[in-house]
Amino acid sequence: MKVSRSDLNQLIAVKLHKAGLSKEHADGVADVLVHADMRGIHSHGAMRVEYYAERIAKGGINTTPNFKYEVTGPCTAVFDGDNGVGHVAAKQAMDEAIQMAQTSGIAAVGVRRIGHSGALSYFVRQAAKAGMIGISVCQSDPMVVPFGGSEPYYGTNPIAFAAPSNDDRLLTLDMATTVQAWGKILHARSRNESIPDSWAVDKEGHPTTDPFKVNALLPIAGPKGYGLMMMVDVLSGILLGLPFGNKVSSMYHNLTEYRNLGQFHLVINPAFFTDPVVFRQHISQTMDELNQIKPAPGFEQVLFPGQNNDLIQEEYEQNGIEIVDEIYEYLVSDTVHRNQYDHKDPFAK
């Protein structure tokens, strides 16, 4: 099923408003989810709506949060999301970080006590569109075996980065510290597709290609990914006085409870380090030079980070966003949710 950007945005916003969010916050969440679908990151797009709707309807997200922004130093601050929707809190915190970096050169803003915030690329691209470098990391519930271990401890703990060029292109990296994000497993399940055997393991710790048999994910590049997810957990959990490691709340265990998650934004103003015009020119030069590198056998072209998503977005702008039929049917239905996520094992169907 193909849907236009505006239609998908409206369908998501209406559903979340019906679940209990204010219109302003429903619109804010829809904007982040459609951004993900538009860039081909379907694991963080419309397929998440019913889960959010169920958690909202059951009280696991504060629908009337009292956001608080406290400046704690010349270039530091803490944004308290009061367990409202993470998408809106993280966006507002990034806006504050951008404003601080305009005058201080650097802004480090911790975002504490929020719900799931979706694709991090949305927030770092806020900074890049303002001419800044944006970095964002966030914690997630434990579902990854540490290198050499057999029990989950950390989450997929993603890292995102974006920087502006001297044209409309943005250099963008958004990656889980696992071989693949859990949302990609969910996406494979929604399409009844198999997964590569390098993504996850089953209950016995054996590699599996069946997304329904996944019992734990694997860190990217073994000990290197394990180290990165530890770093993310420190910055977005321990640093902000929040639960960390295997104490991070489960996405599905109890949808009536707040999640108290953390996120960390770092914004860098290039003008405090170099000529900002030259900086942007060199980012564009980097992109162009990467595209001009001779491709390896089996590849048509070397793409710069985020370029594949740019190409998907261009196609979707012209032809509509590809959405799984079942998800579309849910969005256009009168159903708020079908009570299918609460108290589920994180690896359950």
Strands 133-138 and 216-217, how do they pair?
Answer: unpaired
The structure tokens listed for 94 are 């990034």
pLDDT of residue 60: 98
Contacts 24+ apart (CB under 8 A), 158-161: 158/120, 158/232, 159/120, 159/135, 159/228, 159/232, 160/120, 160/121, 160/123, 160/124, 160/134, 160/135, 160/136, 161/124, 161/133, 161/134, 161/135
Give me the pLDDT at residue 347, please: 64
Q: Per-block average pLDDT, block size 10, for the chain (349 residues)?
A: 96 98 98 97 95 97 98 98 98 98 98 97 98 97 88 94 97 94 81 92 87 92 96 98 97 95 98 98 98 97 98 97 95 96 72
Quick one: pLDDT at residue 185? Answer: 87
Which of left, alpha, beta for 226 (phi over 0: left; psi -120 to 50: alpha)? alpha
Residues 6+ apart with CB under 8 A from 121: 35, 36, 39, 41, 160, 162, 172, 174, 306, 309
The confidence score (pLDDT) of residue 57 equals: 97
Which sequence positions are flagged as catalytic?
A: 116
pLDDT of residue 338: 94
CATH 3.30.1370.60 assigned to domain 2-275+310-332? The reply is yes
Q: Where in the chain is the domain with CATH 3.30.1370.60?
A: 2-275+310-332
Alpha carbons within 13 A on the beta-carbon side of 331 = 22
